[in-house]
Chains A and B, each alone.
Chain A
Amino acid sequence: MSDLDRAIAQLRACRPIPEPQVRELCYKARELLIEEGNVVGVDAPVTVRIHTIPALRLALMNGLQICGDIHGQFHDLMELFRVGGDVPETNYLFMGDFVDRGFYSLESFLLLLCLKVRYPDRITLIRGNHESRQITTVYGFYDECLRKYGSANVWRYCCEVFDYLALGALVMGASNTLGTSTSTSTNESGTQLTEEEEIEIEILNSAGDVMSRIPRSMAASSDNHETVNSSPLSETSRGAPARSGPVGTGATSDSLGSVGNPGGAVLCVHGGLSPLVETVDKIRLLDRKQEVPHEGPMCDLLWSDPDEIEGWGLSPRGAGFLFGADIVKLFNHRNNLSLIARAHQLVMEGFKEMFDASIVTVWSAPNYCYRCGNVAAILELTEDGSNGGYIPRANGDVNRTGDLLGPVAAGGQISGPGRRYRVFEAAPQDSRGMPAKKPVADYFL
């Protein structure tokens, strides 16, 4: 067992590793990260599964799991790995905000960093707005390092790594359809879906059971009543203004699914778009090896939020911008993207698709801050080998796969890839050994 494997084992048990080891780890991580571009290329891996009986189901290789904010909730990160599949069998992309707020920022970030160094091609880490010196001194990570090591050295090593984290990732070759689900209990709810029918969105609970499926055709043709009614999401998914729904407000109201041409890459970024960044290539040109600035493109990528507005708006956060559907659609069109995946905003349902599924927020910290009562989600993209080996990719020839989809493309928007959301709740309370509650302030009038 190598030192690195030992460190991984120790961190998995939620025990910090010694300071010299952190130093070495951070050094190695920096050497690795410096080689990555500002926008990391990631392939959606082929999913191959062997189905026997559920208990013996064996996943040789899972898809790519895209994860949102973690915020030091170590036990929930373990739950995430349980739900999404273990490393290195499963590929992971974490969209930043590993630290702060939770009580185990240190263990969470170091574990992810160890996994990155150990399996560089299996783990992708990009930077969130909390991966910054200024923010971590206020929101907990700095204090945690000081508490656990008695000095700020480890915090300093980590901050140096933060400066090298990529700003975004581009997932190529994600399949338009979802592969066969891991669950065998799919059709219990009476859905009339056949294996051949193209599923655009699938929502699974933490046990891997399908909670709902949304076929692509449903989104495209609203007169397909049979399909619509068979879905538990039918009422709201047909464009009713109500935002309430089973899970994932996006799938239930904001998003009507997507139509059009397959292919197109998925851009992953922590916050969102910037008025100063019209193309993905512009991101590649930034000098990222610095503290997150207070303004400018790098700041916006980590701080901005999508909102129901037209154009750009002032962000109430005090940094970054708000951007509307028109901005997202133009950006996706210009860059041949089918979807933007981002984190940064708490979503009570774990994920939220917006603007005709052109952007999705993924949130992976259940019961955020141990008090918000939200569920978490991760987004799985696959390059599906089951479709006769046919892999729809963006190759500039937009009509090539048009026939396969049936419904006609609208407005030149590239359809989203097949999206499987795994929704999970916080790890059991008793496994967490939370530090004692802080005393309340004594004066408050």
Chain B
Amino acid sequence: MSDLQRSFVKAKLARLPPEAPMSPEPLREGHEDGESLDTLGILHHDPHDDDASSASSASSTGTIKPLASRNLFARPGGASSKKSQDQLPWSDFFEQELYLEGSFDKENITYHVYLTPPAASGPLFVTHHGAGSSGLSFAVFASIVRKMLPSAGILSVDARGHGETVVHTKVPRDPSQPPIDYSLSTLSKDLLQVLELCKEKMDWKEQPSMILVGHSLGGAVVTDVAKTGELGDKLLGYAVLDVVEGSAMDALQSMQTYLSSRPPAFPSIASGIEWHTRSRTIRNPTSARVSVPSLLRRDADPNAPRPWIWHTDLSATQPFWENWFIGLSKKFLEAKGGKLLLLAGTDRLDKELTIGQMQGKYQLQVFPEAGHFIQEDLPERTAALVVEFYKRNDRSTLVLPPKVADILKAKQQQQQKQ
């Protein structure tokens, strides 16, 4: 096992930039608390991390007896001090936030996005979170991407009904319809509109080259946007994190059961953060500290014993669930641009993507040690992968070996000269 770890870490280290990325202040703070931070896990690879990982991958493939040293049931935070549950502000991870006014026929919408603008000619990584999450799901990821690639910009959106993005309906919606239109096509239009508004607001002459990154529902959205082709050759590639049509459709049946098993409210934000790390929903405390606060809002009733309730009512989005994922695999394979699929387990591939993968149609990466929120659980490795994916698909620097016809031509010319 230790050999494996060593070779793994070595391989990973080899891919990282020569200088170790500096960890931001809050991360260091956390580390002093003695927590195992996955953001740093790659550099300070303590065995504790990997034990959890192999245990989680094992659980999906069969039975492996946990060794005594495994600490399977240890609480991730250990003897967590109160400090480690404190929330972290978004400004530690992004340079600015924007409120952008968009409009459709029947509604106005105020989009809220986090932005770290790209340097001149730098790429823009556009991230879209999953249902029930928020733009801050990519906060830690964003700051690491920026460190690995200082010219890069990151735009992380709050989808409608999530975070601080608010829909104002002009025309009252049909009461038989859900109050907010969460259909995939609308979410795609939202993302395209945000990109346009952002360009105007920031006074960009043209859109920067883009890599779209979507987690879960966000993966379906970025795939749909890529398939529309509206971004043209500005779209270098798209990355989809832990969502596959087949397994998502299978999982939908048990979604309501899962949702009802979540606590409906929390006494404080800190307890919300604590629940997310303790239940291993989010396995990296730093990520949870920045992303969880945006998932909760205060109950209207000031006397409620547990005043912090879920910001987004996920159950209410149920009418759209199938609509989000149907046809995802096909679109993912057909859309133009580089394709990256990052999963938390190999068994999540459906038939279409298994065939596509074995025909070499896209890049597949698996982080078995991560949970569903890959970019929050392993922000460092996710960022390294996405940055590498960008570099590979960056057409401005792409140099391919010469074509045979060109070689022959050159030879002929040489011979003629002689």
Contacts and interface: CB of A to CB of B under 8 A. Distances in A.
Given A371-B351, A435-B62, 14 more contacts: A138-B346, A138-B366, A139-B366, A147-B62, A275-B401, A310-B405, A312-B401, A318-B389, A321-B401, A346-B355, A369-B349, A441-B345, A442-B251, A444-B372
A148 to B, nearest CB: 9
Contacts of A369: 349, 354
Contacts of B401: 275, 311-312, 321
Contacts of B132: 445
Nearest to A100: B346
A419 interface: no
A327 interface: yes
13 contacts: A69-B358, A101-B346, A140-B61, A140-B346, A147-B62, A315-B360, A318-B365, A345-B359, A369-B349, A442-B254, A443-B281, A445-B130, A445-B324
Given A143-B58, A441-B251, A443-B372, A344 B360 contact: yes
Nearest to A436: B62
For the complex of A and B, list the 3 residue pairs with the smallest distance between their C-beta atoms, beginning with the closest.
Answer: A311-B403, A318-B363, A275-B401
Interface in A110-154: 133-134, 137-140, 142-144, 146-147, 150, 152
Given A147-B63, A345-B360, A441-B372, A372 B392 contact: no
A444 B248 contact: yes
Interface of B: 1, 3-4, 7-8, 11, 14-15, 54, 57-58, 60-65, 130-132, 216-217, 243, 247-248, 250-252, 254-255, 258, 281, 314, 317, 321, 324, 338-340, 344-349, 351, 354-355, 358-363, 365-366, 368, 372, 389, 392-393, 398, 400-406
B354 A372 contact: yes
A445 B249 CA distance: 10
Interface in A152-169: 152, 156
Interface in A358-400: 368-369, 371-374
Given A311-B403, A314-B392, A316-B362, A139 B351 contact: no
Contact of B358 (A311, A312, A316, A345): A345
A133 B4 contact: yes
A374 B321 CA distance: 31
A312 B400 contact: yes
A291 interface: yes
Interface of A: 69, 101, 133-134, 137-140, 142-144, 146-147, 150, 152, 156, 275, 291, 294, 305, 310-318, 321, 326-327, 330, 344-346, 348, 368-369, 371-374, 435, 438-445
B355 A312 contact: no
A146 B133 CA distance: 36
A316 B361 contact: yes
The secondary structure that dominates the A interface is loop
Contacts of B255: 443-445
A101 B345 CA distance: 12
Given A316-B338, A317-B360, A369-B354, A443 B7 contact: no
A314 B389 CA distance: 12
B363 to A, nearest CB: 4
B62 A143 contact: yes
Given A314-B392, A314-B400, A373 B372 contact: no
A438 B347 contact: yes
Contacts of B258: 442-443
A346 B360 CA distance: 9
B64, B340, B346: residue with the most chain A Cβ atoms closer than 10 Å: B346
Nearest to B253: A440
A294 B251 contact: no
Contacts of A133: 4, 7
Contacts of A444: 216, 243, 247-248, 251-252, 255, 372
A443 B248 CA distance: 9
B403 A150 contact: no
A152 B4 contact: yes
Nearest to B362: A316
A140 B346 CA distance: 9
Contacts of B345: 441
A94 B361 CA distance: 24
Contacts of B314: 445
Contacts of A101: 346
